[in-house]
Structure 1
Amino acid sequence: MWKMVRRAAMATVHLFVAAAMCFGVWIFVTVLLITAIGTLAVVGCWLLPEAVLLIRRIAGAKRNLTTLWTGKKIPEAYAPMTGTLRERLRTSVKDPSTLTDVRWMVAYYFYGALLALALPLWPVALVVDGVWAGILRRTPVVLPLIVRLADTEAHWSTVLLMPSPQARLAARVQELKETRADAIAAHEAELRRIERDLHDGAQANLVALSMRIGLAKRAYDRDPDAARKLLDDAQAQAEQALTDLRHVVRGIHPPILTDRGLVGAVRALAASSGLAVTVEDGGVEEGTRAPAAVEAAAYFVVAESLTNVAKYSGADRAEVQLTRIRRGLTVRVRDEGRGGADESQGSGLLGMRRRVAALDGTLDVTSPVGGPTVIEVMLPCVW
């Protein structure tokens, strides 16, 4: 009984907010009429993109309200409203989601009115239902109807606000363009890093090695001891060049991934991080391995995250979870540090996001001031 009462109370709040939004839609219709008249008169054509943006915000608020009730997120698929006035006007008119939002708004204008008219009757109905259930000991009648009405309202909102296949395809194409641009930027940055490491490290050591060997050859006949000293220095220089080359190769694809697999490589990384790190394996080592690119991206995310923990968070502990899911691999790194992670402050988050996006993955960062900081990554792959 009390469960039904709580559910009906939540449904009442949902319907009340929906009805209040309907009043806002009624007022906004006036703005739409002014915009339409201004657009037809040309002088007010600049109002159209602004009106479309406002429609998007209203529809977005309704999507959020419906998601709170149903627990299922309604996706958005809007074309970006950027560029000159002509480009924004073209986007406003040609974006399929504009028609979807306007269609919902027109429908909401009418069925929202029914909700608003029904609101004054609800207190009376609740009193009658209380008497029916409390005194006569019968099953409540009105409370289930309120819940059903909220379910129906949410269902129709979901149907009307769901982007069309054309809009979802256009949004997906735009997303792929952005991720492709990010992947190219990340690739170029990686090439610059490799070039810099080779030029400043291995190349400089190899040049010094060549010079020492040349000097040793000249001194070999007249001063064997000096030649031997130069050859010893050359050997040390060669070893340093090999170390630098291993460092460059490790940055491209860590050999430890090939040798130990992702979980073993992450555990070795955790052991050398200077932190107390727990690594949980959620079935990653079972069955077939993830593709090399996915393992490398996951390893990079963990390495960069642990570096951020050591440098910025102030925490001395961290948790790493690697989980095998049906559609891919998830990586979760958590620390109890000071929080406040910001991508714009050069903390490596942007690089992680680009690397993950290049594989069509997602990266979510939760880092309130005071902590904790949680980085969650999903990398799609076929096992």
Structure 2
Amino acid sequence: MRRALRRADRALFHLLTGAGLSIVCSLALGLVLVALACCLLVVGAGMLPEAARTVRSLTGAERRRTEGWSGQPVPARYLPLDEGPLRARVRNAVRDPGTYRDLLWLVAHLGCGLVLFYAAMALFPLALLVDGVWCGLARRRPVLLPLLPGLAGAQARLSRTLLSPSPRATLLSERVEELTATRAGALVAHGAELRRIERDLHDGTQARLVALAMRIGLARRACDRDPEAVRTLLDDAQDQAEEALADLRHVVRGIHPPVLTDRGLVGAVRALAAGSGLEVSVRAAGPQDGPEDDGTRAPAAVEAAAYFVVAEALSNAARHSGARRASVELARTPRLLRVRVRDEGRGGADENGGTGLLGIRRRVAALDGTVALSSPAGGPTALEVELPCVW
């Protein structure tokens, strides 16, 4: 009996707050109607996003009430109303499916909130009388008091049904969050790449060009008085020029390897395999290296990402895995470019261990691709990347 009374008191409090919220809903409904009328007159269009924001605050309170009763959160998925010009905010308020779910809940709760509360207030005294006699004399469990939590639960289920986002809205929101995260990762990777290029140019190419300019200047000064010194200085200048060109080629390869343009993806990967220091087998399935204008080749950004994935994976295998053999598989479908690199090393690859795997993941995520890594202790290590591309 005491347990039933406690649950009944909690249910009454829940229904009481619901009744109070119903009164506020009547005011909010009036605000929405006024905002719609003003929006039709154009001059009051700015009221519509504010009215939608007010209704969202009410539904937020109802979500918290429902979570407090059931212990399960009610997710919220909305288009933003605080960003962009007035036209964009009005459009978001009108097109957002959450707005219509909120309005439906507003009308439903306006009636059921008060009805359920009045029903509970009428039932509570009768439940105390009947269950008091029933439990006190017959030593039986309460019969009417458990109906009060049932009323509160019905109100919570109604709110959860009306306020929970649709599966489509949930998927869309999750997709937006995923793209936001991948965009942030792409910006981080882009910033790191720019810093790397700047460092390579500053520490390598620029230093060699400065040394080249100094030697040419010294050769000009010594031109008349010391021809042998001029020859030596010009030889040094030629060496500096060749080293500067080599540094520039290295920087260019880091941006977009020319071998991709010359040989295509399969040829570029075979060149990587030949210079990796491992016994690497390369297999390719599907059209890979047709002419760029025939539509069968992947976009340049996709090919570059696949090339860097293979380069980083083979480099990791040569430096960290202790493997002697590795394999690379390239498969092209109408929608995907799949890259799989496998080595027979010791395994245990860690993304946080500075092996470049995090950079691979960011580069692939920027193109909306996926990365799957399998590297149990003892090996083997398999890295599989899927990059979307359509021909």
1:269 alignment counterpart: 272
What TM-score does the superposition give when structure 1 sets the normalisation length?
0.60
1:321 alignment counterpart: 329
SS in structure 2 of the partner of residue 330 of structure 1: strand
Alignment deviations for residues 21-52 of structure 1 (CA, whole Å, 9 cap, x no partner):
xxxxxxxxx9xx99x96xx799x98x859944
SS in structure 1 of the partner of residue 189 of structure 2: helix
Aligned equivalent of 1:334, options 329, 342, 345: 342
Alignment deviations for residues 41-94 of structure 1 (CA, whole Å, 9 cap, x no partner):
99x98x8599447x99xxxxxxxxxxxxxxxxxxxx999xxxxxxxxxxxxxxx
* Counterparts of 2:72 and 2:77, CA distance in 1: 11
1:284 alignment counterpart: 287
* 1:346 correspondence with 2:347: no
Alignment deviations for residues 348-371 of structure 1 (CA, whole Å, 9 cap, x no partner):
000000000110100111111111
Contact 1:78 1:171 in 2 (8 A): no
Aligned equivalent of 1:301, options 298, 302, 309: 309
* Counterparts of 1:230 and 1:316, CA distance in 2: 45
Q: CA RMSD in A?
A: 3.3
2:380 alignment counterpart: 372
1:185 alignment counterpart: 188
* Counterparts of 2:206 and 2:243, CA distance in 1: 11
SS in structure 2 of the partner of residue 241 of structure 1: helix
Q: CA deviation at 1:284?
A: 3.5
Q: CA deviation at 1:326?
A: 2.4
* Counterparts of 1:236 and 1:163, CA distance in 2: 68
2:188 partner letter: A
2:177 partner letter: Q
SS in structure 2 of the partner of residue 263 of structure 1: helix
Q: CA deviation at 1:180?
A: 0.7
1:358 alignment counterpart: 366
Deviates more, 1:338-347 or 1:295-304: 338-347
Identity among equivalent pairs (%):
65
Contact 1:319 1:334 in 2 (8 A): yes
* 1:381 correspondence with 2:384: no
* Counterparts of 2:314 and 2:387, CA distance in 1: 19
In structure 1, the gaps of 5 or more residues are: 1-29, 57-76, 80-95, 100-160
Change beyond 3 A, Cα 1:308–1:207:
same
Alignment deviations for residues 232-288 of structure 1 (CA, whole Å, 9 cap, x no partner):
100100000000000000110000000000000000100000000000001133652
* Counterparts of 1:255 and 1:238, CA distance in 2: 20
Contact 1:284 1:322 in 2 (8 A): no
Aligned equivalent of 1:235, options 218, 238, 241: 238
SS in structure 1 of the partner of residue 337 of structure 2: strand
* Counterparts of 1:49 and 1:204, CA distance in 2: 69
* Counterparts of 2:204 and 2:70, CA distance in 1: 54
2:200 alignment counterpart: 197
What TM-score does the superposition give when structure 2 sets the normalisation length?
0.59
State the structure with more CA Rg: 2
* Counterparts of 2:196 and 2:242, CA distance in 1: 21
